[in-house]
Amino acid sequence: MTLPSLLLGLIISSLIGALFHLWRGGGPGRLLLYLLLAWIGFWGGHIVGAMRSWTFLSLGPLRLGMAAVGSLITLSFGYWLSLLDKTTTN
């Protein structure tokens, strides 16, 4: 993996997280959460795509298709978990 592909992956995953924040809304804490989830999901999807040799929308050494899918799955799951209510019953 080259430095330009790492930087491109960081930019694309940040864009996915920022667009998710624009769509779902929230404050600065949510933006940070969405960015972290997008980064984790993006690189997790890239690694899975590289290990399985899937070349869906590859861009050089970057498995862009699988990385984007991983990012969206992680963002959706993280958003769903953030909606859980913390109320306790006696």
Mean pLDDT for all residues in the chain: 91
Asked if residue 37 belongs to a domain, the reply is: yes
Average pLDDT over residues 19-31: 91
Prediction pTM value: 0.86
Please report the pLDDT score of residue 64 as a whole number: 92
Between the alpha carbon of residue 89 and those of residues 81, 85, 86, the distances in Å are: 20, 12, 10
- Residue in 69, 76, 59 with CA at minimum distance from that of residue 9: 59
Please report the pLDDT score of residue 88 as a whole number: 64
DSSP string, 12-70: HHHHHHHHHHHHH---HHHHHHHHHHHHHHHHHHHHHHHHTT--TTEETTEEHHHHHHH
Cα Rg for the chain, rounded, in angstroms? 15
Work out how many domains the chain is built from and give that number. 1
**Identity of the amino acid at 57:** L
Asked if residue 62 belongs to a domain, the reply is: yes
Asked if residue 2 belongs to a domain, the reply is: no
Asked if residue 29 belongs to a domain, the reply is: yes
Kindly tell me if the per-residue pLDDT of 76 is higher than 70. yes
Asked if residue 89 belongs to a domain, the reply is: no
- Residue in 5, 73, 1, 77 with CA at minimum distance from that of residue 44: 73
Asked if residue 75 belongs to a domain, the reply is: yes
Residue 52 domain boundaries: 25-80
pLDDT band at 68 (very low <50, low <70, confident <90, very high): very high
Task: Please write the tens of the pLDDT for every residue from 26-65.
Answer: 889 999 999 999 999 999 999 999 999 888 888 888 999 9
Please report the pLDDT score of residue 90 as a whole number: 62
